[in-house]
């Protein structure tokens, strides 16, 4: 039987895509086009992003005043859930608490520059910088350029605009604003100039920097907690009814953890709850910039603002989830050790996890009980996270010391 002859393709056939190769080409092209349309429709063109972005709201509040207080050198678990910080926890429980906020580096001073200008500006230590020597964009300069007012209130600063390196418990390393020649020196004010009798006199955005005792650097957490209650408690209450905001944050942890720090939002239009999205000082800077519609400094240009904490006051799903801090714990080497970490609220079932545990110890994911016979001595920082069925999470960190006897 002779094979059937293959008809010769005419130019018209080729133009019309006839023949075997034409059919294959058309099928392939159709498949490619369909795939492109599907990808576009699903919106997965940037699925290669390293991490999912935190949730975002359509708009941010237009605040009259924002006061930002920066504390020093404490881990998240030394503040949130700690009996040593009752007032700060009161603000956190009634407001918004970031449970996965981290500082960017060590030691203190580079973090202040990150928070204020979106970069360390080459600062790597805590030594005194040359005042008015930098011209990089920063939050103070941006606010002034946008027609907004800006000031800082620095406890133990000798006088308004002073560029002193130290003075009593005052330290220049906690005050990056004096380094920039595009920020007027007179925006750096003493704590005595804080308008305690009329908060309407506050600038649009201000930083409050307690001295090295009251910021918890050289004194206990309880000292700083009492200071913020006595000195800013009235503003915290006033802010809720006067379209204003109070933000508490830290520069870094105590070098013993993962640089996780507490950050609390309190005031008008703050949506109560705990928020487990990953944030850092660049995100905070971007938030302050976006609240007042300024340009963006340094790495804040590529950071996501913290928007999920603002709203109509309705808690997010599982937003009542709380994880109690058990405080400092101690166990003995190769002896039975049990630590109970307890969560409240949230949507059942809850699931616990822990990091930093000594060898042999483990946490029960259903009950939050840490148990076992530890085979490592010394003090370790234990971080426990609980996640509920709605995806909400809460985290706490506490020290666990294992001794020989």
Residue of 233, 286, 302 whose CA lies nearest to 86: 233
The residues, ordered by sequence, that sit 6+ positions from 42 with a Cβ below 8 Å of its Cβ are none
Same domain as 348, residue 297: no
Q: Is residue 38 part of a domain?
A: no
> What is the extent of the structural domain holding 352?
322-403
Rg of the chain in Å (alpha carbons) = 27
Q: Classify residue 43: in a domain, yes or no.
A: no
CA distance 193 to 158: 12
For residue 90, give the H/E element and its range: helix 86-94
pLDDT on residue 320: 67
- Kindly state the tokens that stand for 239: 């802010």
15 occurs within a structural domain: no
Same domain, 281 and 361: no
For residue 274, being part of any structural domain is answered with: yes
Per-residue model confidence (pLDDT) at position 151: 98
Is residue 383 in some structural domain? yes
Residues 256 and 348 in one domain: no
Q: Other C-beta atoms within 10 Å of 182: how many?
A: 15
Write the CB contacts of 360 (distance below 8 Å, at least 6 apart in sequence). Answer: 372, 373, 374, 375
**Boundary (domain end) residue, out of 302, 330, 359:** 302
Residue 336 within a domain: yes
Boundary (domain end) residue, out of 274, 302, 330: 302
Residues 244/268, Cβ–Cβ less than 8 Å: yes
**87 and 213 together in one domain:** yes
Cα separation values, 222 from 53, 84, 91, 136, Å: 35, 5, 15, 37
Cβ-based neighbours of 405, under 8 Å, separated by 6 or more: 332, 333
**What residues pair up with 275 in beta bridges, in sequence order?**
98
The sign one gets for the Cα dihedral 280, 281, 283, 284 is positive
Cβ-contact 324, 342 below 8 angstroms: yes
pLDDT at residue 9, rounded to an integer: 42
Q: Evaluate whether residue 26 is within a structural domain.
A: no
Identify the CATH number of the domain in which residue 392 sits: 2.60.40.10
Tell me: do 157 and 214 sit in the same domain: yes
Looking at the fold, whether 371 and 286 belong to one and the same domain comes out as: no
* SS3 call for 98: strand
Sequence-ordered list of residues with C-beta below 8 angstroms from that of 245, at least 6 positions apart, any chain: 61, 63, 65, 66, 67, 239, 265, 266, 267, 268, 269, 270, 291
Q: Are 300 and 285 in contact (CB under 8 A)?
A: yes
pLDDT means per 10 residues, the chain with 405 residues, are 43 40 42 38 34 52 97 96 93 94 97 98 97 98 98 98 96 97 98 97 98 98 98 97 97 95 97 92 98 97 96 56 83 94 87 93 95 93 88 83 91
Pick the last residue of a domain from 302, 333, 349.
302
Query: What phi and psi values does residue 11 have, to the nearest 5 degrees?
Result: -55, -35
The per-residue pLDDT for 74 is 97
Query: Do residues 331 and 276 share a domain?
Result: no
Q: Are residues 396 and 284 in the same domain?
A: no
Does 187 lie in the same domain as 117? yes
SS3 333: coil
Q: How far is the C-alpha of 252 from the C-alpha of 259, rounded, in Å? A: 6
Task: Please name which of 148, 147, 171, 145 lies closest in space to residue 158, comparing C-alpha atoms.
Answer: 171
Q: Do 379 and 240 have their domain in common?
A: no
What one-character DSSP code corresponds to residue 331? E
C-alpha span between 314 and 308 (Å, rounded): 11
Closest by CA position to 279, among listed 265, 295, 296: 265
Residue 325: the pLDDT is 81
Residue 257 is assigned to a structural domain of this protein: yes
Backbone φ and ψ for 328, nearest 5 degrees, come out as: -65, 135
DSSP secondary structure of 278-326: -EEHHHHHHHHHHHTT----GGGGGSPP--TTBSSSPPPTTTT-EE---
How many structural domains compose the chain? 2
> Are 290 and 391 in a shared domain?
no
């Amino acid at each position: 039987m002779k094979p059937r002859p293959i008809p010769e393709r005419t130019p018209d056939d080729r133009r019309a895509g006839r023949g075997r190769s034409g059919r294959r080409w058309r099928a392939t092209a159709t498949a490619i086009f369909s795939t492109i349309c599907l990808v576009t429709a699903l919106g997965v063109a940037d699925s290669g992003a390293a991490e999912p972005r935190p949730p975002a709201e359509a708009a941010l509040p237009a605040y009259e005043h924002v006061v930002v207080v920066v504390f020093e050198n404490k881990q998240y678990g030394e503040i949130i859930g700690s009996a040593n910080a009752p007032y700060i926890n009161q603000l956190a429980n009634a407001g918004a608490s970031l449970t996965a906020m981290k500082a960017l580096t060590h030691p203190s001073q580079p973090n202040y520059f990150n928070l204020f200008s979106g970069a360390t500006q080459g600062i790597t230590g805590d030594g005194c910088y040359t005042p008015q020597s930098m011209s990089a964009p920063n939050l103070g300069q941006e606010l002034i350029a946008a027609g907004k007012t800006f000031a800082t209130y620095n406890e133990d600063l000798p006088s308004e605009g002073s560029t002193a390196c130290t003075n009593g418990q005052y330290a220049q390393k906690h005050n990056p604003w004096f380094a920039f020649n595009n920020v007027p020196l007179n925006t750096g004010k003493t704590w005595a100039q804080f308008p305690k009798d009329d908060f309407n006199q506050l600038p649009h955005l201000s930083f409050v920097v307690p001295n090295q005792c009251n910021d918890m650097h050289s004194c206990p957490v309880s000292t700083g907690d009492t200071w913020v209650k006595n000195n800013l408690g009235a503003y915290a209450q006033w802010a809720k009814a006067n379209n204003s905001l109070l933000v508490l944050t830290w520069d870094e942890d105590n070098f013993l953890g993962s640089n996780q720090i507490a950050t609390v939002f309190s005031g008008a239009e703050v949506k109560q709850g705990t928020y487990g999205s990953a944030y850092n000082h660049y995100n905070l800077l971007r938030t302050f910039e976006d609240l007042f519609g300024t340009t963006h400094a340094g790495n804040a240009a590529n950071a996501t603002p913290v928007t999920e904490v603002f709203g109509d006051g309705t808690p997010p799903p599982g937003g009542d989830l709380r994880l109690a801090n058990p405080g400092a714990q101690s166990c003995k080497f190769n002896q039975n050790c049990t630590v109970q970490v307890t969560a409240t609220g949230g949507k059942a079932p809850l699931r616990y996890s822990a990091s930093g545990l000594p060898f042999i110890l483990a946490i029960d994911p259903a009950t939050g009980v840490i148990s076992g016979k530890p085979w490592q001595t010394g003090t370790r920082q234990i971080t426990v996270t609980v996640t509920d069925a709605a995806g909400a999470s809460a985290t706490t960190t506490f020290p666990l010391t294992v001794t020989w006897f």
